[in-house]
């Protein structure tokens, strides 16, 4: 079964640090433990989501600026 990274908080998910900047992690890339994979904005404050497991071939399940619930799968990887 594919490995997953879930959102620790409910809010709005962002794949990039600012609108004009590149994604933290591109689809297909590898992810190391401790990498920031995105931000979750909750009640106007921003929280970094860091990978707790490593994996390859990242497949994002949540789009940039998507509303997410706590526990929502943000990315799957091998």
Partner 1 sequence: MDLTGKSLFIANRGEIAVRINRAAKALGLSVIQGHSEADADMLAVRMADRAVELGPPAANKSYLDVARVVAVAKEAGADAVHPGYGFLAENASFAAAVEAAGMIFVGPTADTISRMGDKVAAREAAIAAEVPTSPGSDGRIEGVDEGLKVAAAIGYPLMIKAAAGGGGRGIRVAESDDDLRRLIPQAQSEAAAAFGDGGLYIERMVRDARHIEVQVLGDGSRAVHLFERECSLQRRRQKVWEEAPAACLSDAARTRVCDASVRMAEAVNYRGAGTLEFLYEPERDEFYFMEMNTRIQVEHPVTEMITGVDLVQEMIRIAFGEPLRLAQDDVSMSGHSIEVRVNAEDPSNNFMPFPGLVGAMAMPANARFDTMLYEGYAIPPFYDSLLGKLIVHGANREAAMNALATALDEIRIEGLKTTLPLFRALVRDADIRADKATTSYLETWLESHAIDAA
Residues of the shown chain interacting with partner 1 in the complex, contacts defined by CB under 8 A: 9-12, 42-45, 65, 67
For partner 1, the closer CB: 10 or 17: 10
Q: Work out how close the CB of 16 gets to partner 1 at its nearest, in angstroms, rounded to a whole number.
A: 15
Q: Work out how close the CB of 19 gets to partner 1 at its nearest, in angstroms, rounded to a whole number.
A: 11
Q: Work out how close the CB of 14 gets to partner 1 at its nearest, in angstroms, rounded to a whole number.
A: 11
For partner 1, the closer CB: 15 or 55: 15
For partner 1, the closer CB: 32 or 43: 43
Tell me which residue has tokens 């404050």. Answer: 45
| Alpha-carbon gap, residue 66 to 55, rounded angstroms | 23
């Amino acid at each position: 079964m594919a490995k997953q990274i879930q959102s620790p908080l409910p809010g709005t998910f962002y794949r990039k640090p600012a609108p004009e900047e590149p994604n933290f992690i591109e689809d297909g890339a590898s992810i190391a433990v401790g990498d920031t994979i995105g931000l979750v904005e909750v009640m106007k404050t921003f929280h970094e989501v860091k990978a707790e497991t490593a994996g390859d071939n990242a497949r994002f399940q949540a789009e940039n600026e998507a509303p997410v619930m706590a526990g929502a799968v943000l990315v799957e990887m091998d």
